[in-house]
Amino acid sequence: MASWSLLRALRRFIPQVSREAARGAGGIGRSYRRGCSNGTGCKPRTSRLEEVTQCKTNHFDAVIVGGGHNGLVAAAYLARAGMKPLVLEQRDVLGGAAVSEEIVPGYVFSRASYLYSLFHPDIVRDLELETKYGLTLYPRDPSSFSPLLDGSGYLLFSRDVRETQRSIASFSERDALMYPKYEHKLERIMEGLVKPLMERSPVQLSRMSWSDMRFVARMVLACWKHRSDLPDALQLLLAPAEKVLRQYFESEPLLSTLATDALIGTMTAPSQPGSGYVLLHHVAGESKGVKGAWSYVRGGMGALSNAIAFSAQAHGATLVTGAAVQEICFDDHSGMALGVRLQDGSEIRTERVISNADAKTTFLKLCAGASASRAGVFSSEFLDRIRALDFRSPVLKINAALNAVPEFRATASSNLNGKERRATIHLGCSSLEELNHAFHEASTKNAQPSTWPMIEMTIPSELDDSLAPPGHAVAGLFVQFAPYDADWDSPGFKEAYCNHIFSIVDQYAPGFSDSIVGYEALSPRDLERTFGLHGGNIFHGSMSLDQVYSFRPVLEASAYTTPAKRLYLCGSSSHPGGGVSGMPGKFCAERVLAERRM
């Protein structure tokens, strides 16, 4: 690969939308408002901060710090139970990382989160998101497309397993026969052993309730019932993804495509111990009742957040944007959370504070003020454990506006007619060796992004015509490995690396670079600055085995409670963790309501 200095010298001009230019054009920070059909393009009306702080008659049962999708879910459930929650979001758009924004004029992007599957159907039903508040989904078929670099073939995963087997058979007949067995094994482990853990608040190991003990007993019985699957389940939890996959398959395109499920958003490699269990995400979610299916949301991921916000508002929740919380306040004597202080100096008192921020932001920033210090709520040992949490990020997210849809060399003589563009498109990952090399290259001390990275490409405008002008497209490039400590803020560094990424895509889809109208690149540092994701980690902390279930984020703050009375966590730093699932918000609301009844 060419050196960075050579890349800087030779890069071609590709229009990049700067933050200042985009703001001037109504771009960055402008939420999607094109049309209001079924609510997908509507933005909920939010209250002004002064309306909340200056009205002496306002009383809120709970203040939720952060208007991400989990905070909105918590607000919706609390409001439906008769409480009066207040959501304070520092940006001018609700949704956290699940937002739709017009970065380039005329093109709408799911700016950070970009796919729907893990969001729990119970929440969709409870909050009436599809039936009443406009949530519209476009299931994707095919779901995965991996073209070979030389254009000689491709691997395509379809809803019809027989079609998938035919595609796999072009690389290995044996792998085609093994694939349904692999899928069935993952589904059995997920349904019998893992899903029961995901769909309930974690057991509080330090203070187990009768409900916790009954659940542990049920899980012991489940382990006995599924004892034939236990060895494989333990291996998935502990072994490298590469070891697990090689027990089933031999062809490199299939091995590397499946391995990406274990790597997305994580600073790990297929050869690293503990990477195997994230393979279960391949079958964890569902969309439109189809297990393991992934969908696009009409209007982008912000339309999901807006639907939740509409549901919350309809039952009495108050939503405020442009309201940056500076500090959570505590009683000096009891250590109980009393409310919040905002950056403008105003204070809001409440009965409960619920943080949708990640654990490090909550405890090391929002609870680092004089109030928490005087109250002595958090021990030094607790704060040390929070500081030690793994929040490394490997992610660069590029949102590109295109004046033409990409055409892939590998499908030039096929009869797919472009349907491969509906799928997640895997580039730069034709072998496990490539993925391992990309990780090790970026994890060295010099902290440089991979020269041949793993790229997940999505083109949601192939199914959603509300995102781009006719004949044009929006594309998302999820690039790994791009470490936080790289020189992202140095002049020209990020632009040069983006041009390098575009040149890689050109090798699979000639002319891609020439079709770019404008783009935005979000490094881990940008994700931190823009969305408040500490370290740029999209999961609110690594999903490694030491940071899941009752140890998420740490033992003393699991199950949505914290060492401080009436301070709760509802974000993805809590069980079941990262991804747009809504479950941390739902479980936190249930915890608040249960304690309120006591």
Residue in 590, 564, 516, 570 with CA at minimum distance from that of residue 70? 570
**Which residues lie closer than 8 Å to 220 by C-beta, 6 or more apart?**
none
CATH of the domain at 87: 3.50.50.60
Instruction: Quote the domain boundaries for residue 575.
Output: 43-95+299-390+536-597
Residue 528 maps to a domain: no
Residue 579 maps to a domain: yes
Residue 148 maps to a domain: no
Residue 374 maps to a domain: yes
Q: What letter represents residue 357's amino acid?
A: A
d(CA 268, CA 90): 32
Cα Rg, the chain, nearest whole Å = 23
- Contact indicator for 59, 339 with CB cutoff of 8 Å: no
Residue in 509, 526, 524 with CA at minimum distance from that of residue 449? 524
Is the pLDDT at 62 greater than 70? The verdict is yes
Residue 162 maps to a domain: no
As for how many domains the chain has, the answer is 1
Poorest-pLDDT segment among 22-26, 107-111, 209-213, 260-264: 22-26
What confidence tier does 55 reach under pLDDT thresholds 50, 70, 90?
A: low
What confidence tier does 41 reach under pLDDT thresholds 50, 70, 90?
A: low
pLDDT at 56: 59
CB atoms within 10 A of CB 62: 25
**Range 2-20 average pLDDT:** 36
- Strands 85-89 and 318-321, sheet pairing: parallel
Q: Please return the burial class of 19, using the count of CB atoms within 10 Å of its CB with bins 0-12, 13-18 and 19+.
A: middle
Question: Residue 555 CA to chain centroid, in angstroms?
Answer: 23
Q: Strands of 353-355's sheet, edge to edge?
A: 318-321, 85-89, 62-65, 353-355, 567-569
Residue 315 maps to a domain: yes
pLDDT at 370: 81
The pLDDT tens digits for 517-537 are: 999 999 999 999 999 999 999
Is the pLDDT at 361 greater than 60? The verdict is yes
The pTM for the full model equals 0.91
Is the pLDDT at 44 greater than 70? The verdict is yes
- How much of the chain exceeds pLDDT 90, in percent? 80
Residue 249 maps to a domain: no
Residue 12 maps to a domain: no
The pLDDT tens digits for 212-262 are: 999 999 999 999 999 999 999 999 889 999 999 999 999 999 999 999 988
- Alpha helices by DSSP H, 25-147: 49-53, 69-80, 121-126
